[in-house]
Amino acid sequence: MDSRTGLPVVGMVGGGQLARMTHQAAIALGQSLRVLAVSADDGAALVAADVVIGRHDDLDTVRAFAKGCDVVTFDHEHVPGDLIRTLAAEGVTLLPGADALRFAQNKREMRTHLAELGFPVPKWTAGDIKAFGDEVGWPIIVKTATGGYDGRGVFKAHSSKDLPDHQDLIGEELVQLKRELAAVVARSPLGQVAAYPVVETVQKDGICVEVLAPAPDLDEDLAIEAQRLAIDLATRLGVVGVLAVELFETTDGRILVNELAMRPHNSAHWTIEGARTSQFEQHLRAVLDYPMGDTRLTAPAVVMANVLGGAPGGMSIDERLHHLFAEEPGAKVHLYGKQVRPGRKIGHVTVLGDDLEDCRRRAARAARILEEGYEH
């Protein structure tokens, strides 16, 4: 406990935008968030008071960081499982635990275990990918088993000649896709769960550019099925904290599990303004075993648009903010304190309203002003 506040100290390994926004949620709850960042320039390190600079894969660093924390959690999945298990054996509370987190760290293990448990997944192989492609039909999707994100480590192979020269791969059928969805839930150590409305995620070049909440024209039974699937996954995998289940909705009306993330997730950034309890507050509640918060929407339609770094030069980000606020005063802006690089997520904007298409138009315009500038 923090002796100054009488409230718990949560340690978050990772200093990126997820830790930055978790820090914002912690302020309202009166909690102290300690951040382990690689650099003092990381997004959370720029705003948090209690920051340790060090590597997340160094046992001594994480051990020292955890001292004085009531619970340690993560803003990414890159902490080695053996390190988590060692500290857990020493009495450190780390949530989610290594046995759950490994299924978000390794796609091969995730696909294998989910198939064993009977969850719907695409046809896939960890064996002879050429033979698999010949069997299911080319093209297929090829993924690195570990380390991929935001489209990295994902390839479309039209024939065996397109297969990457990499040993740690899995192959998946090319799903007949209607759209991509996400079901986000949270679970406490006591086993209480809370589910957010299912959302549609819009991808471009493997990067999520837009989230629509709730997913438009989604069959009610399918939405309930997706929420129940995510809750069942959180329970059976022993996840504590936020679990984001990225889903494929197929053209024949099925849902398939694509990816898992056991932390706050881009598909639920809209919850900061768009839900009665944000995913960041919910994650803190979950790892501290507080009762879960209300997940209902605050408006009939909520749209979140990611802001990607544009070409260098031109109008400064401060000038762009001036134009954005003048043109779209209802847009809520979240900038992550990142250096701008083309294609890099540097922030997001959220728009709430009664009409989904109007919200989409306004959110896209706001994001475009931040990305490209605005000239009269």
Q: pLDDT per residue over 248-266, tens digit each?
A: 999 999 999 999 999 999 9
Cβ-contact 249, 181 below 8 angstroms: yes
Q: Which of 47-56, 63-72, 177-186, 305-314 has the lowest mean pLDDT?
A: 305-314
**Residue 32's pLDDT band (boundaries 50, 70, 90)?**
confident
State yes or no: pLDDT of 376 exceeds 60: no
State yes or no: pLDDT of 4 exceeds 60: yes
Mean pLDDT, rounded, for 120-128: 95
Report the percentage of the chain scoring pLDDT > 90: 88
> Does 306 count as an annotated binding residue?
no
**Residue 375's pLDDT band (boundaries 50, 70, 90)?**
low
Mean pLDDT of the chain: 95
> Does 266 count as an annotated binding residue?
no
| CA nearest neighbour of 115 among 102, 106, 124, 104 | 124
> Does 36 count as an annotated binding residue?
no
State yes or no: pLDDT of 243 exceeds 70: yes
Distances (CA, A) of 329 to 270, 301, 351: 17, 17, 10
**Residue 118's pLDDT band (boundaries 50, 70, 90)?**
very high
pTM assigned to the model: 0.95
Mark 148-162 as b/e (b = at least 16 C-beta within 10 Å): eebeebbbebeeeee
pLDDT attached to residue 150:
60
> Does 200 count as an annotated binding residue?
no
> Does 332 count as an annotated binding residue?
no
Q: Give the Cβ contact number of residue 18 at 10 Å.
A: 26
Q: Is 186 helix (H, G, I), strand (E, B) or coil?
A: strand
> Does 67 count as an annotated binding residue?
no
Cβ-contact 201, 208 below 8 angstroms: yes
Q: Which of 150-159, 192-201, 233-242, 328-337 has the lowest mean pLDDT?
A: 150-159
Distances (CA, A) of 113 to 102, 117, 119, 233: 11, 6, 9, 11
Mark 307-323 as b/e (b = at least 16 C-beta within 10 Å): bbbbeeeebeeeebeeb
| CA nearest neighbour of 271 among 244, 291, 295, 247 | 295
State yes or no: pLDDT of 237 exceeds 70: yes
> Does 29 count as an annotated binding residue?
no
Report the percentage of the chain scoring pLDDT > 70: 98
pLDDT attached to residue 123:
97
pLDDT attached to residue 341:
85
The answer to whether the Cα torsion of 366, 367, 373, 376 is positive or negative is: negative
Query: Please, which residues have CB within 8 angstroms of residue 329's CB and are 6 or more apart in sequence?
Result: none
Query: Please, which residues have CB within 8 angstroms of residue 303's CB and are 6 or more apart in sequence?
Result: 210, 211, 212, 213, 270, 350, 351, 356, 359, 360, 362, 363
Residues 133, 140: Cα–Cα separation, whole Å? 6
